[in-house]
Structure 1
């Protein structure tokens, strides 16, 4: 089973949805001209409102896009948690801190697997 990245999914979206997802999750690449605010986003997308995109956020497709973004950010988040847990363990060891980190990791991985299945079936 080949993994699907968020950038693979973004490439498959319409131009306006690509821009919206990049804006919504701050996934801009270095060469992208980043809209400074919502007004600039509307101009870039050549639309009058974001209502249809906000409605799209309730779709199964967008839910799975969110899962891919969360999984992508998991490494950074786990690093931040690890640093905090390590500080706590060094100062006042609490097994529940480590247990919480492992539960969070398991939950994100479950969502990631579901998103992989969804996008491989498209």
Structure 2
């Protein structure tokens, strides 16, 4: 399940809080709202309810999905950096690290295939 799918399962205000807190916005041209602007946007007086929500398993599960998303982005950035360095310098350490990353990507490919296979099976059961 993706972070976006999980955010649809929580209340709209909680989803907005989560997106605000972790700066997950689709329009990155706009600056992040201040706390005061955010409270006005969701029509609330304080963040207390959200701070209490942060102690729940639901919130913690969302954070785990967010961290998974962020680590994937970080992995992509590291891969690009190491790939460029290995190509440019030919440094033995960079080449070795690049090959390790390539091996890890190959191993993860099976997980990705399984996820898409599961999603295909879920959609195959739908009648039109």
Q: TM-score, normalised by structure 1?
A: 0.61
Distance 1:69 1:90 in 2: 35
Which residue matches 1:93? 93
**Runs of 4+ in structure 1 over 6 Å off:** 94-97
The 8 Å contact of residues 20 and 33 in structure 2, kept in 1 or not, is answered as no
Unpaired segments ≥5 residues, structure 2: 109-128
Structure 2 residue 52 is the aligned partner of structure 1 residue 48: no
Distance 1:10 1:34 in 2: 22
Distance 2:92 2:55 in 1: 42
Number of positions where the alignment pairs a residue of Structure 1 with one of Structure 2: 97
Distance 2:72 2:64 in 1: 14
Pick the structure with greater CA Rg: 2
RMSD between superposed Cα atoms in Å: 3.0
Unpaired segments ≥5 residues, structure 1: 107-122
1:6 CA drift (Å): 1.0
The 8 Å contact of residues 3 and 62 in structure 2, kept in 1 or not, is answered as yes
Distance 1:25 1:16 in 2: 14
Distance 2:9 2:38 in 1: 20
Which is bigger in relative contact order (C-alpha 8 A, separation at least 6)? 1
1:81 CA drift (Å): 2.2
Which residue matches 1:20? 17
